[in-house]
Every structure is written in C-alpha cells, then in structure tokens.
Amino acid sequence: MDRPRRLMVAISGASGAVYAHRFVQVLPDSFDTIYLTASDNALGIMRDELGLDSLVDFVPKESMSKFTLLSSTDLSAPPASGSHDYDGLVVIPCSMGVIGRIASGVSNDLVTRAADVCLKERRKLILVVREAPLSLIHLRNLTSLAEAGATILPAAPAFYGKPETVAEMVDFVVNRVLQALGLDTRLVRGWGE
C-alpha cells in the first residue's frame, strides 16, 4: 500500500471505555493517521470509568502527532466522505443506540456517517458491541449490519488463557480487534501457540 494508512476510531456511550483506552495505546505504530472521536455520553462514561476528562487525556502523549481529534457532530470532517481514502472505522465500545442508528441508515453524526461510508465503500467496519441481555431489536440490527459487511466483535473476553487481571481481559478483546484489522499482534497468545 503506497498511500498513508488512516483509521477512524469512535468511542460510543457503552460501558467499557477501558477497551478504547488500551486500543489507542497500541494502535499508533500501525497507522499514519488516527481520527478519534467520542459521543457526549462516551465522554461522560470515560469520566466515570477512567477518571479522564477529555479525549486529549486519552491519547498517548508520545504519539499525539498521529491523532486527529474530531467532534462527534462534525459532519464535514474527512472520514464523513467516501472520497477521503481511509482504511475503516472501529467503534469501541459500541452502544446499541449506535448499532440501531447505523442499521437504519441514520447518519446524523460523525460516527454513524463514517459507518455508513465504510459500508457503502466496502471498508472495514468493526463494531465492538457491549450490552446484556440483547433484545430482539438489537439482534435484528446486528444481523442487518453483519449482512451489510460489518464485523460484530462483542467485548467478551475468553477465559482459556487464564487471565488474572482486568488488564489481561481487556487485552484479549483489543487483540481480537487488532486481528480483525489484519494486524500482526501478540498482546495475548492465541490458542495453540
């Protein structure tokens, strides 16, 4: 690939801000530009769960130059257009509200518009969903998105690696996201390795 590698990462209003925090720590080596945005609910949850007040606090200081922080309402940002060449979008964690809006084509903010772009342009759309239990409406929306080409990646750590800390459980999920992006990663050992 001879163009710069660009990825959009969106943090939505589901529990699990720690997944996004770890993800953006391990991502910079693989991309030239990372567009990062968070919904207002996500910012509130980041404050509650991690004690972080803004997206600036979220980004690793040594890689700050790779990140472009975007308002979730900025529909003129580059990833809102299919003409801007980028590799895809990861929504981590992904709320059922966002799932419903993407599944019904409601592109009313940057996250849902970028997701719409990724589906229509056949780019990677990885949705790290977190909700329990799931209603029939959630399941139908998830099915529509899987049929349209999205990867539905539940924030559900496995236990066969015998994790001893929350950090290890978080790494399991983040590692699966890196794998879904096609990146060579070894945050955790795969089964049989």
Ligand X SMILES: Cc1cc2nc3c(=O)[nH]c(=O)nc-3n(C[C@H](O)[C@H](O)[C@H](O)COP(=O)(O)O)c2cc1C
Q: Which residues contact 154 (CB under 8 A, 6 or more apart)?
A: 128, 129, 130
Least distance CB 192 / ligand X (angstroms): 32
Which residues are registered as beta bridge partners of 35? 8, 68
Q: Does 15 bind ligand X (CB under 6 A)?
A: yes
Q: Does 14 bind ligand X (CB under 6 A)?
A: yes
Least distance CB 33 / ligand X (angstroms): 23
Q: Which of 22, 58, 86, 95 binds ligand X (CB under 6 A)?
A: 95
Q: Does 8 bind ligand X (CB under 6 A)?
A: no
Please give the order of strands across the beta sheet that includes 124-129: 67-69, 33-38, 6-11, 88-94, 124-129, 151-152
Q: Does 98 bind ligand X (CB under 6 A)?
A: yes
Which residues are registered as beta bridge partners of 11? 38
Least distance CB 129 / ligand X (angstroms): 8
**Among residues 54 and 182, whose Cβ is nearest to ligand X?**
54
Least distance CB 73 / ligand X (angstroms): 11
75, 88, 114: which is closest to 183 by C-alpha? Answer: 88
Q: Which of 7, 9, 20, 96 binds ligand X (CB under 6 A)?
A: 96
**Among residues 87 and 131, whose Cβ is nearest to ligand X?**
131
| Chain positions contacting ligand X, by CB under 6 A | 12-15, 39, 41-42, 45, 95-98, 130-131
